[in-house]
């Protein structure tokens, strides 16, 4: 077990000269700001400005300052109505003002003289050009997230729609299939994932789960997200690449929900090349994604909830092609006749020290190893490539018998099979928003997902034959966020946020949790039998596909991040000061013992002519009992 723990702190203070009345939003919130003037263009100080969140009817009020400007920050994303009133002028209102993540939305008003009992509805749209900060990025809203086709209904893929973002370089963990992306030429691991303002990054050293993030809510639960690729503010200072900043939906005064079922199966799919090239045909495939969301009021105008659930069921045949197993003739001979090593191969390894030609596949008897008068080392082949039955090791015979019979011709690539991958994922999120008053707001969110997967090895039973990516894998993730915002006065606002995310990935080989001592059955004593270390060790037998499992299994990873942040905003005259603190405790203990069950290789060195190694004879070396070579320093198999 290796344990790594890190503490990360960041402090940021921004002083913004508000000639344009700009102000920074906080993480997953936004800002509404503007200037109130009369019809001559003169500013109106002291005008009352009220914003109303249209879904919840939560209200906030302020007054314009001496220069006629106003600022509401931070505020939750969503649609707002902005109202302005001042004695001697008609009331002005603008509805449908959509605030997005990190957006600083400018809403200016020109007041018309008249009675306050009269209301003017102001029409307008947000400017296409962002003039309030230099951040480069794009907001992806809920409608876009739901309407665009997405592989696996994973919103992370939409990041690639942003300028400067593209797919990542090839890698071995399947990360590209979970939305892994590169921004502005940086490494994908330098991106920063946030959910509701809380760190959502996997800190596993090798992304064993196949994803760079911890939590992935369904697309129907995402209010919107913003991908920022450059010039973002100090609170995002961790990222060298891009920031993917997502926010879960909130409940409103009305009940709203959705349900879905998405089906993919092999009836609609074509077989890929590797399933068709030898007439094997396509394998079975079925994927179901289903779930629902529901949001609404617990107490109107005060308390709201939102919840979602998504399940995924995958049954997919994975073709294994090009596997090599012992030939039927070798099996039928009781592992004594290896003449087909000669007949199924052509060519020569060269000549030995005695000038004899050595055809490819010739099995030499290690017990005949000797040194000639000239000092050269030689040995003699078994006549006809037939090994005497008395020379065979019974445990090696049992191990070779674990290989399945070939189902294709040839010495190599003579076995293919479809094995079935399975995946059963259940995930949910729950969010509660509480509006205590215009000055106090709170929200909390909890997320959980459990995803057991089985990725079978090519062989069944004790044979296994799987690599690092095969076996039983369990991925469990959870996370939470709690945010409290208090307005001391309209010019002083503080937000405190705490949260955590946790990822646990456990991958174990076939029979890995079987402690009945499988190796002992095959004459391999002394292997520690404990949970996770069961099953056969790795056997590399020259020319054959492996027996046993990868030497790096069992493998277990944890990623725990605990976060506390605080942001305070002070508006002073025409200036806005913002200060912040963020502290994180990061843990990523992991287990990956190398070759904890041992590792055995038989490359044919001792069943080949000296200095003319022939790996195809490795199966014969594997079978032979060690016998000393009389009169030499060599002892048979070494």
Beta bridge partners of 541: 602
Q: Divide the 638 residues of the chain into consecutive groups of 10 and give the mean pLDDT of each group.
A: 55 44 60 91 93 91 90 89 92 91 88 78 58 62 77 85 84 82 88 93 89 93 86 74 91 94 83 64 85 96 96 92 95 97 95 94 95 91 96 96 96 93 96 93 96 94 93 96 92 93 95 93 94 94 94 93 92 80 92 92 95 95 84 44
Single out the residue of 270, 574, 565, 293 nearest to residue 429, CA to CA: 293
- Measured CA to CA, the distance from residue 477 to residue 114 in angstroms comes to 59
The token pair at 227 is: 């991908």
Single out the residue of 511, 447, 20, 404 nearest to residue 196, CA to CA: 447
- Measured CA to CA, the distance from residue 346 to residue 360 in angstroms comes to 6
Predicted confidence at residue 224, as pLDDT, reads: 86
Instruction: Specify the residue for token string 């890929």.
Output: 272
pTM for this entry = 0.84
Q: 385's torsion region: left (phi>0), alpha (psi -120 to 50) or beta? A: left
pLDDT tens-digit readout, 376-419: 999 999 999 999 999 999 999 999 999 999 999 999 999 999 89
* 8 Å CB contact between 592 and 550: no
- What backbone phi and psi angles, to 5 degrees, belong to 461? 65, -150
Integer angstrom CA distances of residue 28 from 14, 31, 42, 74, 452: 18, 11, 34, 9, 31
- What backbone phi and psi angles, to 5 degrees, belong to 522? -115, 25
Predicted confidence at residue 1, as pLDDT, reads: 44
- Measured CA to CA, the distance from residue 193 to residue 217 in angstroms comes to 13
pLDDT tens-digit readout, 591-630: 889 999 999 999 999 999 999 999 999 999 999 998 876 6
- Measured CA to CA, the distance from residue 251 to residue 433 in angstroms comes to 7
């Amino acid at each position: 077990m290796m344990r790594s723990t890190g503490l990360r702190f960041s402090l940021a203070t921004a002083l913004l000269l508000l000639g344009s009345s700009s102000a920074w939003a906080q993480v997953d919130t936004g800002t509404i700001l503007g200037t109130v003037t009369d019809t001559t263009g003169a500013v109106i100080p002291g005008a009352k400005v009220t914003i109303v969140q249209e879904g919840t009817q939560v209200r906030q009020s302020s007054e314009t300052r001496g220069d006629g400007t106003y600022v509401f920050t931070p505020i939750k994303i969503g649609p707002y109505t902005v109202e302005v009133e001042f004695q001697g002028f008609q009331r002005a209102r603008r509805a449908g003002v959509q605030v997005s993540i990190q957006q600083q939305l400018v809403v200016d008003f020109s007041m018309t003289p008249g009675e306050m009992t009269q209301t003017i509805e102001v029409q307008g749209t947000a400017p296409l050009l962002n003039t309030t900060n230099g951040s480069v990025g794009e907001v992806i809203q809920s409608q876009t997230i739901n309407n665009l086709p997405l592989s696996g209904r994973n919103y992370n893929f939409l990041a690639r729609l942003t300028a400067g973002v593209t797919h990542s370089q090839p890698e071995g963990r399947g990360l590209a299939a979970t939305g892994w992306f590169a921004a502005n030429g940086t490494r994908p691991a330098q991106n920063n994932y946030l959910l509701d303002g809380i760190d959502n990054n996997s800190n596993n050293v090798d992304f064993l789960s196949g994803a760079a993030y911890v939590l992935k809510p369904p697309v129907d639960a995402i209010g919107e997200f913003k991908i920022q690729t450059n010039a973002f503010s100090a609170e995002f200072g961790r990222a060298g690449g891009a920031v993917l900043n997502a926010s879960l939906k909130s409940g409103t005064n009305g009940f709203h929900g959705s349900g879905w079922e998405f089906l993919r199966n092999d009836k609609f799919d074509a077989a890929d090349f590797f399933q068709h090239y030898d007439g094997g045909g396509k394998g079975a495939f079925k994927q179901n994604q289903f779930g629902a969301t529901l949001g609404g009021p617990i107490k109107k105008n005060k308390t709201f909830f939102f919840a979602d659930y998504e399940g995924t069921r995958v049954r997919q045949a994975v073709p294994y092609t090009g596997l090599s197993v012992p030939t039927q003739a070798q099996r039928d001979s009781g592992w004594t006749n290896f003449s087909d090593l000669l007949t199924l191969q052509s060519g020569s390894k060269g000549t030995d020290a005695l000038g004899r030609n050595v055809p490819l596949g010739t099995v030499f008897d290690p017990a005949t190893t000797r040194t000639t008068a000239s000092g050269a080392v030689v040995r003699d082949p078994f006549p006809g490539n037939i090994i005497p039955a008395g020379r065979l090791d019974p445990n090696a015979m049992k191990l070779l018998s674990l290989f399945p019979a070939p189902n294709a011709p040839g010495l190599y690539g003579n076995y293919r099979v479809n094995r079935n991958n399975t995946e059963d994922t259940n995930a949910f999120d729950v969010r509660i928003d509480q509006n205590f008053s215009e000055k106090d707001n709170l929200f909390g969110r909890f997320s959980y997902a459990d995803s057991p997967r089985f990725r079978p090895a090519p062989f069944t039973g004790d044979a296994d034959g799987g690599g690092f990516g095969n076996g039983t894998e369990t991925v469990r993730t959870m996370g939470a966020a709690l945010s409290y915002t208090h307005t001391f006065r309209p010019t002083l606002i503080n937000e405190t946020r705490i949260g955590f995310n946790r990822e646990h990935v456990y991958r174990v080989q076939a029979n890995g949790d079987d402690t009945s001592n499988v190796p002992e059955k095959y004459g391999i004593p002394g292997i520690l039998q404990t949970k996770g270390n069961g099953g056969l060790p790795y056997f590399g037998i020259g020319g054959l596909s492996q027996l046993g499992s990868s030497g790096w299994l069992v493998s277990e990873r944890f990623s725990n991040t605990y976060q506390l942040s605080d942001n305070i905003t002070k508006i002073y005259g025409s200036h806005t000061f913002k200060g912040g603190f963020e502290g994180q405790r990061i843990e990523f203990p992991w287990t990956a013992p190398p070759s904890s069950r041992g590792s055995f290789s038989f490359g044919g060195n001792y069943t080949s002519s000296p200095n003319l190694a022939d790996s195809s004879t490795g199966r014969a070396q594997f079978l032979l009992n060690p016998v000393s070579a009389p009169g030499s320093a060599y002892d048979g198999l070494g």
